[in-house]
Structure 1
């Protein structure tokens, strides 16, 4: 799980999580069953995770679709950039170092104050401030300066021609007149935000729900869905039960649960192609998991195709790195074939010999390590169990354990984690945070403490070159280095499945990142939904 991943607050144990969510969300919409309300203009959806903060200055909504906020640009259904707070796409200088945005006129924040260029400058400068606890600020490393030219023009000057910079300007804009008056990391704005978006925050009960109400003065027009609630239901089975009972209008579900709704009247299933992967971190600081031969052996011992078939039930594809195999950025030839005999030979040649119990040892070190996964997440649990089973056949003892992120995070330096990540649009967005050695131990960045100088160099080349051929070569290098020294065992790319009440028009899905349905899913454009007649 990288920094772009959204992690939630969980109960201390799985049993507690089930009990708490059952009690807290029995009527998450505050209206009739399903959150429909008396006038039928309310929607309640179930998601698995919640953000730690609602402030874009700390990373909330940085990939767009935050509902409370708008960015300068936004992404449409085909993942093409379109104007949002900007009146048009940016003007880019010939050298790729200057981006000029003309702003939309007449936009107001939800408190009635006007939006202007100074809010854009404040947002970007605050994110880049070293005092701001934004784990993703390196995504804006290219920014040399941002300044306002009058009230309606913003000019970004870059240090180098960062090719995907425009995609980074979907991040939400915060109001200077509110956020600048308080501590950026702990102030009220982190839980009581004000933005220009189609919705305003109605309430946030942590661990239970986030409630929104339509912004009647939204510059894009008031949404027809007047009340929108995201119910935080961490356990997959409980989420499915609530959907079936009518307490939820929609939910993200794993394949085995989504299929139980097939043919059910009044419900429709949506499948979203994603960049979302599941991977096992192999911490450099663990004597077994950090050994190159163990990593290489695990990389070919794992049966990815069986995971896709049996765990995902075909709703996904095998993963050999952070880049999906159908992406233009995928390095052909880096696919790893399941080969148990090869895995055993790699270990034999490296001196890892089977002990009396079949588990390998070398220089007094046992080929064993713990693998943590998040309680209540059935897909992670199933991936972890399958991984451990495959590893055991090669003589590596992987002990699976469930826990909350509060339990898992302090152990990430030495213990493996069934993690997730992924970001569409550009390979820099996910790979830099995932693999850059300087980010090891920085929260959920580089969770494996991966350290590869060739990868570091390639990541910098890919980030700083404006030539697509150079960038393609750089990211090819990254993927080929991950074959030589994996650092992570990538398992699958997962297609997200959603089951939603079929009473609205306008639902669709985008190509999605790893965010568990918070800002994507069929409700990525809930502000555009209209009731079926």
Structure 2
């Protein structure tokens, strides 16, 4: 087995030398004053390992950094590392059981202390502690040891040949945190370290001055940042909360903010705002999918501490006929037309890209079939025995609580889906939750998307980079949120199948690109045909920036603000 650049697939090219991002805009660090960023979902922590939410991961990406990132076209570029290790340059072992990274020389934490391989090792130990509840533990799958050969050399060893060894400490979801700051926050203590979680010391272009959970972050330029003259901005105001429409107006109409994230609003309204002429809407497509998660466990409050756990399967959503009918009833093309415009495409897969990994086995979902959905339910014994318009079987009625974050487009989607499900005999109660709470990390809140105290929930998720191995591992049985892991984990719908776990294991040991694509498609199809996930929209990510803001390179493969160190004021 040989790891070559071809292993990255057609969607990406392995870059072995630092990419040149500069636009010829040079000057003193902090020369351009304040940068104003608005994310209408407010971060609840700045520790990305304690939340799987995009708002936490992206806000933290300005502060803590990985060894390598994926740029705006999906290319891997070195970040805290000097270069990308491969078999050809000796960085990856011939038998694919280890990878050795060389850290950039002279990198300092924002407190002025040296960044070393020991910090990387600690990060692995922190995230993989069995009591830590790390949200992104799947990035360390297969790692058996990390060794500091010296201060600038990190060797990672795997339990088997690792054909794609670029997961641990790569990308915005797996950054390196400082050992000295977090060493007393291991295991069950992790969520209790408020000072550390709200103000991590980092190697990135900015440092935290003040963090108000679910509200605002004040940052300033890291005077110890390794690149001369960067960042161009002296301070950053990162505002959270509100809604997507208000965020769009703040950049495109009023000019109050320089950058607004995730503008999921009526596409015509967004276009009209852009016509004012002070800002630009940019869209990036990668792997984001708006999906319905269909709870495989029973969220009934009467179950107490065991609600929404594997101890109690869902009374009817584990019947694939019900999930299949729910999917068939949806007109995905109309959802795109109403809510996404050029920023969306109908999809039947949770893994829509890169193209080599995209299945065509589920494409029948692209055509709405209300009558077919009714027949599927009839054939499975779900009929309306009491004439109330709701199908039932064995005394159980098809009634679902369908929740999502508060967002105009999502509420429009909910309303349409409720109507379609009503037509096939499923009664739906709609609920929307403030995004900062829904995507929050508070283990005590009953309203987080990971706790999933509802029957169906809707949100968008994606993965960093171009290889789906770590992403597809999110649906391992072991990654199910539960009271035991403080409701962390990515397998929110509680799908569990040993056959799926076996495919994840096989992919982790497979080097051949074609076989890896086959395995990824098999896993996607297994999830789709379980109807524990019902994909809706392959989302482009529309955001907006002021015309006076230079250096922005929209990216849906990593943190959207991955290169904030290169942003500057043009006028």
How high is the TM-score relative to the length of structure 1?
0.85
C-alpha contact 1:64 1:74 (8 A) present in aligned 2: no
* Displacement after TM superposition at 1:324 (Å): 1.2
Aligned with 1:273: secondary structure? strand
* Displacement after TM superposition at 1:346 (Å): 0.8
Distance 2:245 2:388 in 1: 37
C-alpha contact 1:297 1:343 (8 A) present in aligned 2: yes
Corresponding residue for residue 93 of structure 1: 93
* Unpaired stretches in structure 1, ≥5 consecutive residues: 1-37, 514-518
Moved more, 441-450 or 60-69: 60-69
TM-align CA RMSD? 2.5
> Residue 415 of structure 1: which of 447, 455, 475 is its match?
455
> Residue 549 of structure 2: which of 494, 498, 504 is its match?
504
* Displacement after TM superposition at 1:68 (Å): 1.0
Structure 1 residues 466-505: aligned runs within 5 Å: 466-505=511-550
Q: Does 1:528 align with 2:566?
A: yes
Q: Does 1:235 align with 2:243?
A: yes
Moved more, 265-274 or 255-264: 255-264
* Displacement after TM superposition at 1:316 (Å): 1.0
C-alpha offsets along residues 205-254 of structure 1, whole Å, 9 cap, x if unaligned?
A: 22221122112331122211221221102422332344433332221212
* Displacement after TM superposition at 1:359 (Å): 2.2
Distance 1:59 1:229 in 2: 21
Question: CA distance change for structure 1 residues 326 and 428 in 2, over 3 Å: closer, same or farther?
Answer: closer
> Residue 178 of structure 1: which of 178, 181, 195 is its match?
181
Structure 1 residues 20-35: aligned runs within 5 Å: none
The size of the alignment, in residue pairs, is 487
* Displacement after TM superposition at 1:65 (Å): 7.3
Corresponding residue for residue 367 of structure 1: 398
Aligned with 1:210: secondary structure? strand
Question: CA distance change for structure 1 residues 131 and 480 in 2, over 3 Å: closer, same or farther?
Answer: closer
Question: CA distance change for structure 1 residues 315 and 227 in 2, over 3 Å: closer, same or farther?
Answer: same
C-alpha contact 1:302 1:387 (8 A) present in aligned 2: yes
* Displacement after TM superposition at 1:383 (Å): 2.1
C-alpha offsets along residues 418-466 of structure 1, whole Å, 9 cap, x if unaligned?
A: 2332214222333222x22333334352222223343232222223323
* Displacement after TM superposition at 1:262 (Å): 2.4
How high is the TM-score relative to the length of structure 2?
0.79
C-alpha offsets along residues 164-210 of structure 1, whole Å, 9 cap, x if unaligned?
A: 32143223222223322555442222112111111111211222211
Corresponding residue for residue 80 of structure 1: 75
Structure 1 residues 116-127: aligned runs within 5 Å: 116-127=116-127
Distance 1:118 1:524 in 2: 24
Distance 1:164 1:341 in 2: 45
Question: CA distance change for structure 1 residues 311 and 283 in 2, over 3 Å: closer, same or farther?
Answer: same
Corresponding residue for residue 281 of structure 2: 269
* Displacement after TM superposition at 1:368 (Å): 1.6
Structure 1 residues 68-467: aligned runs within 5 Å: 68-90=63-85, 91-170=91-170, 171-181=174-184, 183-187=189-193, 188-221=195-228, 222-243=230-251, 244-252=253-261, 253-256=263-266, 257-285=269-297, 286-324=314-352, 327-335=355-363, 336=365, 337-355=367-385, 356-375=387-406, 377-404=407-434, 405=438, 406-409=445-448, 412=452, 414-424=454-464, 425-433=466-474, 435-442=475-482, 443=487, 445-467=490-512
